[in-house]
Amino acid sequence: MSAAFALRGLTAAVPGDKGPVRLVEDVSLEVDAGETLAVVGESGSGKTVTFTSALGLLPRPGRVIAGEAMLDGVDLLKLPAEDLRCMRGARIGMVFQDPLTGLNPVFRIGDQIAEVLRAHQPVSRRAARDRAVELLRRVQIPDPARRIDDYPHQFSGGMRQRVLIAMAIALGPRVLIADEPTTALDVTVQAQVLDLLGDLRRADGMAMVLITHDLGVVARQADRVAVMYAGRVVETGTVEQVFRAPRHPYTVALFRSMPDLDAPAGSMLAPIAGSPPDPARRPAGCAFAPRCLVADDLMACRSETPRLRGAPHAAACHRLDEREPTA
Ligand SMILES: Nc1ncnc2c1ncn2[C@@H]1O[C@H](COP(=O)(O)OP(=O)(O)O)[C@@H](O)[C@H]1O
Ligand SMILES: [Mg+2]
């Protein structure tokens, strides 16, 4: 049994004054066909860098210094640049936060979708256009045969994100990576776009990675969750395991700090004191120790990096065993 998409020990760095600065370190994650893995964590925790690194999209001078990114048994990081570019369009779909950056303002929507198809497959102009209309229909854009000749500025933010989703699924990818796909949208539109992603994932049996900082979204959409802090995965498990009994003190703090879709308006939030470390100045030991309420010098919290253990509900905390078996 192997996952549709799996990262193993992924480590990416940028050059620094005192050698490489690791932006993400030893990240291992996997997602099966038809499953949604949510990746959560404060801003700056390494969510975006993890996936841009895995797909060969980390801007220079950043580079992957260790690890694998396996898609159906092929390590993307070992592919020649041209093959990887091809994989990215065809086998891996990507949807990013800002629906404007992904579209070219001077070309019609239909031509941009057709371009994605024609870049990977020998299809006639006519056939590409028909497929583009069909794709717009799949992402629930009303009157697609007419809208296909519109320009991006004639679409609302939510509709533009739907167009980008259509482009991402155009070639039937095995994996869809959505990086905060609704952050730039109105609250009312967010749920619709997320529902659409969920429907497409189920219909096509895609593996989906959903990067989000909205725990309500995780609860509603995901099967499993990975919590990142300071460039590392600090907890993974099923959504039920992690929500019912979070095992890492950071996850516990994160739950207290974040608004939940189901929480009554005005419920108390407790921001996590302090801020995440700069990647160049990560403390020795557990990177969360300076903000952790249970960090203990006797437990190596400030001297050794804790390993993820306890799978299938794993956490990287030196004090894990003491706090069990509360879960
Ligand atoms: N190209 C880059 N060069 C140097 N540092 C970067 C680069 N991209 C991101 N970082 C740093 O890497 C860390 C992780 O960033 P990122 O993955 O964007 O976080 P997230 O997506 O979880 O908000 C942050 O400290 C960020 O400042
Ligand atoms: Mg990000």
For residue 41 and ligand 1, the question of a CB distance below 6 A is answered with yes
Note every long-range contact of 321-327, with CB atoms under 8 Å and residues 24 or more positions apart, other chains counting.
Answer: 323/247, 323/294, 326/245, 327/241, 327/244, 327/245, 327/247
Give the model confidence (pLDDT) of 47-62 as tens digits: 999 999 999 999 999 9
Helix (H, G, I), strand (E, B) or coil at 267: coil
**Torsion angle of the four alpha carbons 122, 128, 132, 135, in this order, in degrees rounded to the nearest 10:** -50
Q: What is the pLDDT of residue 327?
A: 40
Taking CA atoms, 264 is separated from 203, 205, 225, 244, 260, in Å, by 33, 34, 24, 19, 8
Q: Give Cα 131 distance to the centre of its chain.
A: 28
pTM for the model stands at: 0.94
User: Of 206, 233, 183, nearest to 91 (Cα)?
Assistant: 206
Taking CA atoms, 310 is separated from 123, 199, 221, 316, 318, in Å, by 50, 32, 24, 9, 12
> In which band, very low, low, confident or very high, does the pLDDT at 260 lie, cut at 50, 70 and 90?
low
Strands 63-71 vs 5-16: parallel, antiparallel or unpaired: antiparallel
Asked whether residue 39 carries a pLDDT value surpassing 70, the answer given is yes
Mutate to test the pocket of ligand 1, among 25, 29, 49, 210 (most ligand atoms within 8 A of CB): 49
For residue 275 and ligand 1, the question of a CB distance below 6 A is answered with no
What span, in angstroms and rounded, lies between the C-alpha atoms of 205 and 136?
19
Mutate to test the pocket of ligand 1, among 23, 45, 180 (most ligand atoms within 8 A of CB): 23
**Cis check: omega of the bond before 325, within 30 degrees of 0:** yes
Q: Can you list the domains of the chain with their CATH numbers?
A: 5-91+171-273 (3.40.50.300), 106-168 (no CATH)
Ligand whose nearest atom lies closest to the CA of 23: 1
DSSP H or E segment with residue 53: helix 47-54
Lowest mean pLDDT, pick from 182-186, 280-284, 304-308, 309-313: 182-186
Q: Is there a contact between 184 and 98 (Cβ–Cβ < 8 Å)? A: yes
For the segment 234-261, the average pLDDT, to the nearest whole number, is 90
Asked whether residue 277 carries a pLDDT value surpassing 60, the answer given is yes
Atom 18, ligand 1: which residue's CA is nearest? 48
Asked whether residue 306 carries a pLDDT value surpassing 90, the answer given is yes
Atom 11, ligand 1: which residue's CA is nearest? 23
Asked whether residue 100 carries a pLDDT value surpassing 80, the answer given is no
- Ligand 1 atom index nearest CA of 43: 23
> Could you tell me what percent of the chain has a pLDDT over 70?
94
- Ligand 1 atom index nearest CA of 279: 25
Q: What is the pLDDT of residue 307?
A: 95
Atom 14, ligand 1: which residue's CA is nearest? 46
> Could you tell me what percent of the chain has a pLDDT over 90?
80
**Average pLDDT of the chain, as a whole number:** 92
User: Of 253, 207, 198, 259, nearest to 229 (Cα)?
Assistant: 253
DSSP H or E segment with residue 179: strand 175-179
For residue 171 and ligand 1, the question of a CB distance below 6 A is answered with no
Give the model confidence (pLDDT) of 60-94 as tens digits: 999 999 999 999 999 999 999 999 999 998 999 99
Atom 6, ligand 1: which residue's CA is nearest? 23
Sequence-distant (6+) residues with CB within 8 A of 159 are 141
